[in-house]
Structure 1
Amino acid sequence: MKAQVARWYFDEWGPLVKGATVESFDRKLDDYLNSNQIPLIVMAVDGEKVLGVAQFRCHEMSIYPDKEHWIGGVYVDSEFRGNNVASLLILKVQEVALSLDVKKVHLQTEKLNGGLYALLGWKALEQVNYRGVDVLVMSKSIKR
């Protein structure tokens, strides 16, 4: 499963990371193999098939040292897009955040209108160009 996620990440974001390889993405995922501490990865699976993934991590964007907790790496296999998998992954990361006593989470998206995140109640903070890509930075206060 981890190899599949590494391949997705490399295909999607590899061109943005200097010197990236599938293997480097795979090694980085080792840091996320936690269940009750950050960083961690949430997976949507059906049997042995991974449908999608999302990460909960710290300090994703170096230009925001004051913003600690982030959702990132949200990816759903093209075969399963449009089936609420991404929404369920995001909601699960929010649940995990609460269980770890995290009350505010941030993210960045290339959907400059906020896309799915806006529909799920995330608020736009600002649009920036980060590592050569225009992104919208968003946040959400997580409550029970």
Structure 2
Amino acid sequence: MKFVLLADNHSAISQIAKWYSDEWGYIGEGRSPKELELKLKDYLNHDKLPLIILAQAGDELLGAAQLRFHEMDIYPEREHWLGGVYVASEHRGKGIANAVVTAIIDKAKELGVSSINLQTEDFTGGLYARLGWQAVEQVTYHGIKVQVMEKSL
């Protein structure tokens, strides 16, 4: 498995958009594959946010994760966010999510980020708790109950 930036594999945009739409399209407007493809073009960065790291085996796309700004507008003071962590269903349970989240953390450190936030519908914190993320609070955001978590880098 190798990690590459979306900026170095533009052809992955349509697959990621489909994944995200299938997984989180229920959240609201602007989440069709076509709409997400347009939004994902903003993530074609190497050394600034937002960006996406892809997990690949050869040319096969295994998963993805985002590092971005201000995901939740109710937290204007929380600047950097992990989001869009997704692993293709046929590759789940192989440690790919752990690896791609760790790759995002490494990239965030490289860019001088001091802490990262996330939101998850898993109130135990799951993978994120195992990787050292701390619960901040539970909130209802856009009608969905989520656990907000933070990791100092």
TM-fit CA distance, 1:26: 0.6
TM-fit CA distance, 1:20: 3.0
Amino acid at match of 2:82: I
Q: Which residue of 1 aligns with 2:131?
A: 120
TM-score by length of 1: 0.96
TM-fit CA distance, 1:131: 0.6
Q: Which residue of 1 aligns with 2:34?
A: 23
Amino acid at match of 2:128: Y
Q: Which residue of 2 aligns with 1:104?
A: 115
Q: 1:56 to 1:77 in 2, by over 3 A?
A: same
The alignment-based identity, stated in percent, is: 49
Q: How many Å separate the matches in 1 of 2:15 and 2:149?
A: 28
Q: State the aligned residue count.
A: 142
Amino acid at match of 1:28: K
Give 3-state SS (helix, strand or coil) of 2:140's partner.
strand
Q: How many Å separate the matches in 2 of 1:19 and 1:126?
A: 27
Q: How many Å separate the matches in 2 of 1:33 and 1:129?
A: 31
TM-score by length of 2: 0.91
1:10 aligns with 2:21: yes
Task: Work out whether residues 30 and 36 of structure 2, in 8 Å CA contact, stay in contact via their aligned partners in 1.
Answer: no
The gaps in structure 1 that reach 5 residues or longer are none
Detail structure 1 runs of 4+ shifted over 2 Å in the superposition: none
Amino acid at match of 1:56: L
TM-fit CA distance, 1:17: 2.0
Q: How many Å separate the matches in 2 of 1:19 and 1:5?
A: 15
Give 3-state SS (helix, strand or coil) of 1:63's partner.
coil
The gaps in structure 2 that reach 5 residues or longer are 1-11
Q: Which residue of 2 aligns with 1:133?
A: 144
Amino acid at match of 2:147: L
Q: Which residue of 2 aligns with 1:71?
A: 82
Superposed CA RMSD in Å reads 0.8
Which of 52, 60, 63 pairs up with 1:49? 60
Which of 28, 39, 61 pairs up with 2:50? 39
Task: Work out whether residues 56 and 63 of structure 2, in 8 Å CA contact, stay in contact via their aligned partners in 1.
Answer: yes
Give 3-state SS (helix, strand or coil) of 1:55's partner.
strand
Amino acid at match of 1:53: A
